[in-house]
Structure 1
Amino acid sequence: MLEITDLRAGYGGTEVLRGLTLSVGKGEIVAVLGSNGVGKTTLNKVLSGVQPARSGAIRFNGQDIFGASAKTVVSAGLIHVPEGRKIFPNLTILENLELGGYCRPKSARRTNLDKVFSIFPRLKERTTQLAGTMSGGEQQMLAIGRGLMGEPKLLILDEPSLGLSPLLVEEMFTLIRRLSDDGLPIMLVEQNVVQSLELASRAYILENGTVTISGDAAKLKDDPELRRAYLGL
């Protein structure tokens, strides 16, 4: 579904992504792990079409999307749920969801809303509530629901567990498993190493803008090199 080859990007004279290569296949949950400052956010911005890359290749679902606009990327079905949720606090839950489907036909809106409400019944109960008055966990549900309104063929989830209580983190990872079981490929960009590796089929560990370790997630859990690169042990 997604193939990234030798990707380089940065800001001004600073190179952040330094020849990064990774892929996500159909039906997979692929974890992209790393601490702050290793290039995860830059990678997501480049894939979403809001930050230009300097070189490399990006193919999504058989199409070359290197240098494509954000609208083109979204229209192709590559949907990014950003870190920190980035909901519109002064709009209602329903209005936030409807904005998620701006690239899709209006005729599909009701079907997509029904799908989101079946996954998040709490959102259906409060469609007229202002999004900014929701709890952090509810806002994360709304952000993912808004992403689903875009009819994703692949969903990028950027730090979905950030700022949530342990109980809500468990709930969030259960939801991600459910979405995957329904056939949606997911690129999970996280700092939560343990639970991400338990959930994912494969994983990439980023360090200094490139992949330092990759492979089967179950095997990586016990890899001493992972403990060194990520935990400094």
Structure 2
Amino acid sequence: MQALEIEGLIVRRGVKRVVDNVSMSLRPGTVTALLGPNGAGKSSLVLALAGALPLEAGSVHIGGRRLSGLGTEAVRAAGVAAVPEGHRVLPGLSVDDNLRTAGHAHSRAELDRALDEIYSIFGELAERKSQRAGSMSGGQQQMLALGQALICRPKFVLADEMSLGLAPLIVKRLMGVVERLAREGTGILLIEQFTAVALSLADHAIVMSRGRFAYSGEPRRLIAEPDILHKAYLS
């Protein structure tokens, strides 16, 4: 499987460059932890990679296929699925209808198989197929949001602050799914407030500050030299 290659990416929101000339490679079957303070540009990077924010410059490729300039549906169809911050589900629809809506591009047979896979990963959702998504707990909604991304069977998942506001037990559950996905060959970009959790899972770590990458390298170095991360939060 080919890597997701990002080269010279620049994203502007208003007059501000929120992503400023960053490059990286996300490899299949690996977890890359993206760390840094609020406002560093992490979420903007995810939205740009997902096709939800326009690029001022730079390129995004999988192999020879260019993704930059494509919309969100085309990016998902190419194998890149984002899980944006904030448990984004359709609150008035049932769990099952949320997943079916996310998997609308599948044939009926493919969708049935994909649903079975999601429900095997998240038994909690299987027990609540007919429950309205908005009536579930925050942790259950986050599982559903991740399930919506996974139903398109992506090659790469961009997960933005999945653990925000959730109990430690739910965080452990979600991170277990991240580990499983990586073992099965999915490339994961993980933005995570709990740096120790993210670094324990990561094969590669990036620290972002003011739209740029302040560090890109081994997770163990960030554990051994915490000042690298602390400087990013203080800059």
Q: What interval of TM-score do these two structures reach, taking the shorter chain for normalisation? A: over 0.9
CA distance in 2, matches of 1:231, 1:41: 16
CA distance in 2, matches of 1:172, 1:211: 26
Q: Contact between 2:214 and 2:232, CA under 8 Å: does it hold in 1? A: no
Alignment of 1:74-153 (within 5 A): 74-153=76-155
Q: Contact between 2:81 and 2:156, CA under 8 Å: does it hold in 1? A: yes
Q: Contact between 1:100 and 1:148, CA under 8 Å: does it hold in 2? A: no
CA distance in 1, matches of 2:117, 2:64: 27
**Identical residues among aligned pairs (%):** 36
Aligned residue in 1 for 2:174: 172
Residue 61 of structure 1, CA deviation: 4.1
Q: TM-score, normalised by structure 1?
A: 0.95
CA distance in 2, matches of 1:134, 1:104: 26
Q: Which runs of 4+ in 1 moved over 6 A?
A: none
Aligned residue in 2 for 1:42: 44
Deviations 1:107-131 (A, max 9, x none): 2011000100110111111110000
1:11 matches 2:13: yes
Structure 1 residue runs of 5 or longer lacking an equivalent are none
> Which is worse superposed, 17-26 or 101-110?
101-110
1:59 matches 2:48: no
Aligned residue in 2 for 1:190: 192
Residue 230 of structure 1, CA deviation: 3.9
Q: Contact between 2:28 and 2:155, CA under 8 Å: does it hold in 1? A: no
Q: Contact between 1:201 and 1:218, CA under 8 Å: does it hold in 2? A: no
Deviations 1:12-36 (A, max 9, x none): 2211111111111121111111111
Q: Contact between 2:30 and 2:182, CA under 8 Å: does it hold in 1? A: yes
Which one of the candidate residues 197, 201, 204 is aligned to 1:202? 204
Residue 231 of structure 1, CA deviation: 4.7
Aligned residue in 2 for 1:23: 25
Structure 2 residue runs of 5 or longer lacking an equivalent are none
What's the Cα RMSD here? 1.5
